[in-house]
Amino acid sequence: MSSWLDPVRRAFDAAPSPITFFFRDDDAGWEDEKLYRLLDVMMYFGAPIAVAAIPMAIQTRLAADLRALVTAPATVVSVHQHGFAHVNHEATGRKSEFGPSRSRDLQRQDVADGKQRLEDALGLPPSSMFTPPWNRCTAETAECLLELGFKLLSRDVSAEPLETGALRELGVHLDWTGRHGARTGPSRWGDAIADAIAANTAVGVMLHHAVMSADDRGFLTELLEVLTSHPRARLRQVVDIASDSPAQS
């Protein structure tokens, strides 16, 4: 057993009902070999993962491999749109591809073009979920997503809520490679995961395969061992969790 996960085990033990985890991996199209290594870990445990693919970055080989995974029987892999080109359009302040400096028309064009490009690359429609780069977008982005048939927006839970209407939102709680993530050390990271379990019925974990080290994948393996063995832990696809809750009115 890994002692750094003892707080996680105790948090599950204390939970009055099962706690669901979901995993989202951002930036597919960058560092493909590292993505394959991450997917190997997730599939070994049968752990669902929502892959956020950058339409302008995804190449032929990766697209074909993702298509094969998505269409495989009992697959745990889904693919959805991650912005358009993952570029920053803000001259000052926090980075955003779909921020206030981008007009509604240009945002809509980027979403539409990205959706078509990703569908063409995969040879099938991606999931009706959208993750904006840097987890940032505007209310106008949400309007465009609805118009273009998207059902779910996934950002960070700390993001300011949007009046999304029929567009559901389900954000991530834990950033594996962020400054408050695994780099803080196993002990603190274990405490952070335990805190998320204590405060939520569904916990989202954001991964960035491109910057994950072998040690990161090792720690993830240890966490998945707990998530697949503890009686109060559940693993689900993010879109399935979102479909259980009503959209905003």
pLDDT in tens, 127-178: 999 999 999 999 999 999 999 999 999 999 999 888 778 899 999 999 999 8
Average pLDDT, the chain: 95
Q: Which of 101, 98, 128 is nearest to 110 (CA)?
A: 98
Q: Which residues contact 46 (CB under 8 A, 6 or more apart)?
A: 76, 228, 235
Name the pLDDT band for 245 (thresholds 50, 70, 90): low
Place of tokens 């948090």: 11
What is the per-residue pLDDT for 183? 86
Share of the chain above pLDDT 90, in %: 90
**Euclidean distance between CA atoms 167 and 183, whole angstroms:** 34
The Cβ-side half-sphere exposure at 165, using a 13 Å CA radius, reads: 12
pLDDT in tens, 52-93: 999 999 999 999 999 999 999 999 999 999 999 999 999 999
pLDDT in tens, 199-232: 999 999 999 999 999 999 999 999 999 999 999 9
Q: Which residues contact 227 (CB under 8 A, 6 or more apart)?
A: 21, 45, 47, 233, 235
pLDDT in tens, 143-157: 999 999 999 999 999
Q: Which of 233, 231, 174 is nearest to 208 (CA)?
A: 174
What is the per-residue pLDDT for 242? 83
Residue 106 has pLDDT above 60, yes or no: yes
What is the per-residue pLDDT for 161? 86
Residue 249 has pLDDT above 50, yes or no: no
**Ramachandran class of 105: left when φ > 0, alpha when ψ lies in -120 to 50, beta otherwise:** alpha
3-state secondary structure string across 91-125 = CCCCCCCECCCCCHHHHHHHHHHHHHHHHHHHCCC
What is the per-residue pLDDT for 248? 45
Give 11-73 as a DSSP string.
HHHH-SS-EEEEEEEEEETSSHHHHHHHHHHHHHTT--EEEEE-TTT--HHHHHHHHHHHHST
The whole-number average pLDDT for the span 178-200 is 93
Residue 246 has pLDDT above 70, yes or no: no
Class of the CATH domain delimited by 3-244: alpha beta
Instruction: Read off the pTM.
Output: 0.95
The amino acid sitting at 125 is P
Q: Which of 2, 33, 1, 13 is nearest to 194 (CA)?
A: 13
